[in-house]
Chain A
Amino acid sequence: MILKELSEAIGISGDEGEVRAVVIDAVRAHADDVRVDAMGNVLAFKRGTGRDRLRVMLAAHMDEIGLMVVGHDNDGFLKVRAVGGIDPRLLPGALFRVGPERVPGVIGLKPVHLLKEEEGEKVLQIEDLVVDIGAKGKDEAKKLAPLGTCASFATQFRQMGPSTVSGKAFDDRAGCAVLVELLRGERFRFDLHAAFTVQEEVGLRGAEVAAYAIEPDCAFALEGTVADDLPKEKDVSPTTQLGKGPAITVMDHSFISDRRLLRLLTSTAEELGIPYQFKQPGIGGTDAGAIHRSRAGVPSVTVAVPSRYIHSPVALLSLEDFDNTVRLMRESLSRLTRRTLKVSE
């Protein structure tokens, strides 16, 4: 399963090589051209069957959040900082894979026996924590994990019940897996430009240059997004819910979706009875934020697989949502023509 392979590959922002290799391997046979640009984005081109030379960009980011080694102390512990957004409450007790050799590491705390009452109430910040790789002293630590080494959560992909899976980095390996599935299928009428982007988690950086190079007529960002459907005290938005279908973004912090593309997605879903949901507006940001403002502007929309506990050691998603996302995208794209983008007067 490509989602398993992608989820277990390690690719902290700026260090996406391992994921890139998985992606290239997965799409090479299904694209007319695959290249890696100056920033490290994988750009896969699949020619369309139509005479209409519409250029459509589909983007999913390869990078994930993680840690970077910023120092070593005399006892061999690693000082680290976050790459991308990490809740420090999730760090103590977590297992890590450090560097390309996947050196095992752990963030530990002193045992409960020694805990003072007031300490138990305090959230430790990343500056207060160290990664322990079992190194004997500074020199050994430096050798095993030099400055700048990235560390990722050490999480195996697992099936949980009949249609739910768990793993790390579903944001955005879920989107990458959807994009791989779309490339593997039949050609579309338009020219498909797939971008597996780098450095989304630190500021949509890869997508910006990918969009500049591709110069698309419209774009779809494919994501793994927040599902906040744990029990709540008040009747308020769950952001998205597992099992309720692909989540379509209307507006987030980075962009406002193009209304024509929204209509294409919702009318396709309704025609075919594919479940879908709108993501709670005003939350987060995606590669579409960088793509839509490229050059003279690119009408864009984001479609995501809902995922619980993203940006943590382990996330959950529904395989039904995943399949419905692939289906909604494939069917919508097969209905996309130049007329879709015509301006209503």
Chain B
Amino acid sequence: MRELIRKLTETYGPSGAEEQIRAVIRAEVEPLADEMRVDPLGSLVAHKQGDGKRIMLAAHMDEIGVMVAYVDEKGFARFTNIGGVRTLNCVGGRVAFADGTLGVINVEQKRDNADKVPQMSQLYIDVGATSRADCPVQVGDTAVFVRPFAAQGRRLIAKAMDDRIGCAILIETLRRLKRTRYDAYFVFTVQEEVGLRGARTSAYGIDPDMAIAVDITATGDTPESMHMAVDLGKGPAIKVQDRGMIAHVEVRELLTRRAKEAKIPYQLEVLELGSTDAAAMQLVRAGVPAGCISIPCRHFHSPSEMVDEEDVENCVRLLLEVLQKA
């Protein structure tokens, strides 16, 4: 599974420009699905037929990134964020555009409050151009962090673990899936990072009886972190609630029951900030019972997001229990 995770995390795909990552996922999933389609906003839907009720599993394939907002006379690009990009994680880093063009991000030297966290408007991307005319990027072009995948013991480190790890989990689940008691839709959604947009429209199209998002969540186990009772490596986290939704009790209980039966370690998750595709799916049409399995992830929305390989494996096992057990 490591090779799959490497491939998925190293692929380019900011919100709204998911074509490259979609092609990579499609190649993996096409042989495994009974039917595939790309829906109007670009989400990839893989259908695995079953007799039971419709279940929608969602992992978002988009990642956070930056978009060029202006190219100045000297060829430096000013930019805006796509999703939750923090300036602290940008300075000194590299970004790559869709065509592979590299840029270095730095911050204006002459600025007021130089001891404070800089504003995004004080940052710029240097692609090595000498003027606006020879700058290879233009307004509207998008870029993502550059950072290679790495494994160290059980820990996996990469950019875009959020949520390529969820994509990897759905693909691996499909690979191992023998039969499903649900009519199952594996959906690789677009534009989660800018407002859960793809999951909402995909869920409308699928009209599921139950929906489960697979995404990352924060942990409370780093120095002086905000309080959170989720640790890296203690098992996939079954969501109780976050800022955007309260998980449907029956979905939550189904997940915990299956985990207990199969002796899969798990944690319960209460996230005080942020949300996932489950929040959008829950409110589609007349409402959908929805829940979420989260992979604990340190340093999320940085270029080096860290997850634990056993949490990932246990999440796949849990999904298989849910889909296969009568």
Contact = CB atoms under 8 A, between A and B. Distances in A.
Contacts of A293: 197, 200-201
Contacts of A259: 16-17, 19
A250 B139 contact: yes
Contacts of A258: 41
B114 to A, nearest CB: 16
B204 A250 contact: no
Contact of A297 (B15, B70, B202): B202
B67 A251 contact: yes
A295 B201 CA distance: 6
A282 B204 contact: no
Rank and list the top 3 A-B pairs by shortest CB-CB distance, nearest first.
Answer: A297-B201, A256-B16, A282-B80
A296 B78 contact: no
Interface in A201-259: 217, 235-237, 250-251, 255-259
Interface string B179-218: 0000000000001001001101110110000000000000
A74 interface: no
Contact of A282 (B15, B23, B81): B81
A236 B70 contact: yes
Contacts of A281: 67-69, 80, 139-140
A296 B139 contact: no
Contacts of B221: none
B40 interface: yes
Given A281-B80, A281-B140, A296 B204 contact: yes
Interface residue tally of chain A, by bracket? 20 to 34
A282 B16 contact: no
Interface residues of B, number: 36
A74 B222 CA distance: 61
A343 interface: yes
Contact of A237 (B78, B81, B138, B197): B78
A149 interface: no
Contacts of B40: 217, 296-299
Q: Interface of chain A, helix or strand or loop or mixed?
A: loop
29 contacts: A235-B72, A235-B73, A237-B139, A251-B82, A256-B82, A256-B191, A278-B139, A281-B67, A281-B68, A281-B139, A281-B140, A282-B69, A292-B197, A293-B201, A295-B201, A295-B205, A296-B39, A296-B201, A296-B202, A296-B205, A297-B39, A297-B41, A297-B43, A297-B204, A298-B40, A298-B41, A299-B41, A343-B42, A344-B19
Contacts of B135: none
A164 interface: no
B38 interface: yes
A256 B200 contact: no
A53 B73 CA distance: 46
A270 interface: no
Contacts of B194: 256
A334 to B, nearest CB: 22
A290 B198 CA distance: 13
Contacts of B38: 343
A237 to B, nearest CB: 3
Contacts of A297: 39-41, 43, 198, 201-202, 204-205
Contacts of A299: 40-41
A155 interface: no
Contacts of A292: 41, 197
Interface string A271-300: 000000010111000000000111111110
B81 A278 contact: no
Nearest to B70: A237
A278 B36 CA distance: 34
Contacts of A235: 72-74
